[in-house]
């Protein structure tokens, strides 16, 4: 699994192909997975690799917020296509729970120094677990937003939808889906924090753009 050397043409080509049907390295929102791969790429991909370039410029816009993005960095070889051999070594400086030997030495006899070290690491591990924040309940929602007719400016419609900002709301990928008679609907993904954003609120705000939006429906709703 992995992209190989992301500073090489072949590595960037793999990244471009991987992102041809994805907005992010993992999931539907920017995360530490994107930060890890972004840092490995190092510089802007060439224009012909437009999927990789789109993703790179998007993640670059999170430069000041990258430390607060969700998730935990893993070794670089843990990301990307499953059928590519990881040639990145240990990949990155992230040190987490994997560094902790919970079982100590395999030898029958354990020195006092090794025993003390193992106990200290176990204590550090338990302390780290206790400090982890409580999980926030989130949902991934796929919305169908329908225009009035085939003359509706769909780019403007999407711009209106994405202009809706709220704490606990993150917009994801989107596409236009034909519904008949030359009319297309906007299908757009979002991730919400359940206790902050609900579908009723989304419908109210989206249908408020009444010059462009006829109606909004929930196409899919999944807890994450």
What integer pLDDT is reported at residue 83 of this predicted model? 60
Interval 27-48 mean pLDDT = 90
Other C-beta atoms closer than 10 Å to the C-beta of 220 total: 11
What integer pLDDT is reported at residue 168 of this predicted model? 93
Query: Could you tell me if 142 and 154 are in contact, meaning their C-beta atoms sit under 8 angstroms apart?
Result: no
Of 90-94, 121-125, 134-138, 195-199, the range with the highest mean pLDDT is 195-199
pTM comes to 0.43
d(CA 92, CA 77): 10
The pLDDT confidence band at residue 109, using thresholds 50, 70 and 90, is low
Q: Which CATH fold would you assign to the domain 138-223? A: Alpha-Beta Plaits (3.30.70)
What integer pLDDT is reported at residue 110 of this predicted model? 57
Interval 143-159 mean pLDDT = 96
What integer pLDDT is reported at residue 18 of this predicted model? 87
Among 46-50, 145-149, 209-213, whose mean pLDDT is lowest?
46-50
What integer pLDDT is reported at residue 135 of this predicted model? 73
Interval 196-215 mean pLDDT = 95
**Helix-helix angle 9-18:32-41, to 10 degrees:** 150
Q: Which residue has the higher pLDDT, 163 or 102?
A: 163
What integer pLDDT is reported at residue 197 of this predicted model? 94
Residue boundaries of the structural domains of the chain = 9-78, 138-223
Is 90 exceeded by the pLDDT of residue 71? Answer: no
What lies within 8 Å, CB to CB, of 87 at 6+ separation is 2, 4, 5, 77
Interval 197-203 mean pLDDT = 94
């Amino acid at each position: 699994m992995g992209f190989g050397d992301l500073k090489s043409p072949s590595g960037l080509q793999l990244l471009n192909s991987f992102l041809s049907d994805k907005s992010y390295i993992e999931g539907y929102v920017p995360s530490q997975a994107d930060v890890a791969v972004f840092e490995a790429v190092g510089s802007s991909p060439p224009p012909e690799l437009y999927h990789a370039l789109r993703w790179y410029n998007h993640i670059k816009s999170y430069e000041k917020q990258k430390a607060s993005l969700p998730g935990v960095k893993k070794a670089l070889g843990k990301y990307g296509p499953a059928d590519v051999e990881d040639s990145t070594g240990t990949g990155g400086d992230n040190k987490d729970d994997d560094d902790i030997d919970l079982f100590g030495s395999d030898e029958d006899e354990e020195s006092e120094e090794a025993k003390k070290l193992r106990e200290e690491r176990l204590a550090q591990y338990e302390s780290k677990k206790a400090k982890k924040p409580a999980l926030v309940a989130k949902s991934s929602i796929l919305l169908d937003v329908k225009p009035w007719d085939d003359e509706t400016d769909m780019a403007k419609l999407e711009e209106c939808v994405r202009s809706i900002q709220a704490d606990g709301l993150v917009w994801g990928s989107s596409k236009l889906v034909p519904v008949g008679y030359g009319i297309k609907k906007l299908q757009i993904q979002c991730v919400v924090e359940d206790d902050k954003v609900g579908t009723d609120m989304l419908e109210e705000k989206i249908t408020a753009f009444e010059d462009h939006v006829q109606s909004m429906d929930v196409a899919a709703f999944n807890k994450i």
